[in-house]
C-alpha cells in the first residue's frame, strides 16, 4: 500500500520518532500503525543493545520530597552526551520517573523500571527514547531517605544531587541548616555520617596504611598501632560528616554548627549521587 505524508506525520506525533524512521516502519508493516509502533520500539531495543558498552557519563539528577518533608527521593538518569542531557524529552522523562518513584515507593531500580508509565513501563519508555535519540540511557541511581526533616540539594548543572536527613528538628524550620549541610556533603564527599558508620573494611585499610607509613618512617614497632590509630582519627575528622570542619565556618565542626542552630539537631543519614 502507499504510505502518505499524513500517515508518516500521524505516526510521528504518536511516537515522537523521526520522519524517516516512521516512514520506514510503516512501509515495513504495510501501514499497520500498531505494528509500526512495535517496530519502532524494537528499534529502540536494538539501539540499546548495540550501545550496551557505551559510557553514560552525562545526565541529570532529579530530587524531591513529600509534602511533609520527611521522605526524600533521588533518581539519576544517565545518557552519553551533555546535548541529550539538556533535551526537553530527556528532562521530562527524568521528572516523570522521579514522580513515579516518589509515589509508588519501589524497592530498587529493577522495581522502578517495571512501574507503569502510561501504556508502557518505565523501562520500556527509556527504550522508546533510546530508539528516538540513538543514545544509551539508563537509571544509574535510585535513593530514598526518611527522617524528621529531609532537605534536598542539586549542584549546578544537575550532575550532583544530595539528600540529607536531619533528626531533632522538633518541628522547627531547619531548611537553611539542612541546605548548608547538603552543600557540605556535595563539596566534601564524606564517607559516612560519623565514625561509627564507617565500613569496617575502610577502617582496616586506613589502619594498615598507617602502620606501613609508621614502619617506613622507622618508628618502633611497639608504638606503630598507636600511630596508626592517630592517623585513623585524623581520617575520621576529615572524612566523616559530623566531624568535618564546617565549610562556611572552619572554626566549627558540622556537628557543632547544627547544635548551634538547635540543641539536639543532627544528621541521621545522607545520600550523595554524582554523574560523571
- pLDDT, one tens digit per residue, over 205-220 is 999 999 999 999 999 9
Q: What does the mean pLDDT of the chain come to?
A: 95
Q: Identify the pLDDT of residue 13.
A: 85
* 97: its cell numbers: 520517573
Placement of cell 585524623 in the chain:
234
Tens digit of each residue's pLDDT (9 = 90 or more) over 223-264 = 999 999 999 999 999 999 999 999 999 999 999 999 999 999
- The whole-number pLDDT of residue 58 equals 97
Encode 206-237: b = buried (16+ Cβ within 10 Å), e = exposed: bbeebbeebeeeeeeeeebeebbeeebeebbe
Query: Beta strand pairing status for 149-154 and 160-167?
Result: antiparallel
Looking up cell 517496530, which residue turns up?
39
Length of the chain: 276
Whether the CB-CB separation of 165 and 150 falls below 8 Å is answered with yes
Q: How confident is the model at residue 189 (pLDDT cuts 50, 70, 90)?
A: very high
Nearest partner of 90 among 51, 55, 60, judged by Cα? 60
Residue written as grid cell 622507622: 218
pLDDT in tens, 108-167: 999 999 999 999 999 999 999 999 888 999 999 999 999 999 999 999 899 999 999 999
What is the C-alpha to C-alpha distance for residues 162 and 246, in angstroms, rounded to an integer?
Answer: 17
Q: Does residue 1 have a pLDDT over 80?
A: no
Query: For the chain, what are the domain ranges?
Result: 5-50, 54-144
Q: What are phi and psi of 100, to 5 degrees?
A: -65, -40
Alpha carbons 247 and 236: distance in angstroms, whole number:
16
pLDDT for the residue 127: 94
Chain centroid, CA 78 distance in Å? 9
* Mean pLDDT of all residues in 10-27: 88
- Show the CA angle centred on residue 211, arms to residues 205 and 212, nearest 5°: 90
pTM: 0.88
Domain 5-50: CATH superfamily is Ubiquitin-associated (UBA) domain (1.10.8.10)
pLDDT at 72: 98
Q: Is 159 in contact with 272 (CB distance < 8 Å)? A: no
CATH of domain 54-144: 3.30.479.20
Helix or strand (DSSP H, E) at 142:
strand 138-146
Among 215, 150, 175, 189, CA closest to 272: 189
Amino acid at each position: 500500500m502507499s504510505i502518505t505524508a499524513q500517515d508518516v506525520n500521524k505516526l510521528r506525533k504518536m511516537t515522537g520518532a523521526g520522519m524517516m524512521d516512521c516512514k520506514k516502519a510503516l512501509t515495513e508493516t504495510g501501514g499497520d500503525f500498531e505494528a509500526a509502533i512495535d517496530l519502532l520500539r524494537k528499534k529502540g531495543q536494538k539501539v540499546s543493545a548495540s550501545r550496551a558498552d557505551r559510557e553514560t557519563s552525562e545526565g541529570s539528577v532529579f530530587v524531591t520530597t513529600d509534602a511533609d518533608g520527611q521522605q526524600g527521593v533521588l533518581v539519576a538518569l544517565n545518557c552519553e552526551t551533555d546535548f541529550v542531557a539538556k533535551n526537553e524529552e530527556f528532562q521530562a522523562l527524568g521528572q516523570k520517573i522521579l514522580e513515579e518513584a516518589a509515589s509508588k515507593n519501589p524497592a530498587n531500580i529493577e522495581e522502578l523500571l517495571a512501574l507503569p508509565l502510561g501504556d508502557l513501563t518505565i523501562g520500556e519508555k527509556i527504550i522508546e527514547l533510546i530508539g528516538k535519540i540513538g543514545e544509551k540511557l539508563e537509571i544509574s541511581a535510585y535513593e530514598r531517605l526518611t527522617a524528621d526533616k529531609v532537605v534536598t540539594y542539586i549542584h549546578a548543572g544537575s550532575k550532583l544531587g544530595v539528600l540529607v536527613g536531619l533528626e531533632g528538628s522538633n518541628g522547627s524550620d531547619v531548611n537553611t541548616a539542612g541546605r548548608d549541610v547538603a552543600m557540605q556533603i556535595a563539596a566534601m564527599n564524606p564517607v559516612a555520617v560519623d565514625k561509627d558508620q564507617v565500613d569496617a573494611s575502610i577502617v582496616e585499610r586506613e589502619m594498615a596504611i598507617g602502620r606501613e607509613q609508621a614502619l617506613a618512617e622507622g618508628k618502633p614497632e611497639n608504638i606503630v598501632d598507636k600511630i596508626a590509630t592517630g592517623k585513623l582519627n585524623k581520617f575520621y575528622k576529615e572524612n566523616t560528616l559530623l566531624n568535618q570542619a564546617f565549610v562556611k565556618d572552619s572554626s566549627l565542626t558540622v556537628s557543632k554548627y547544627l547544635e548551634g542552630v538547635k540543641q539536639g539537631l543532627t544528621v541521621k543519614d545522607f545520600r550523595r549521587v554524582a554523574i560523571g
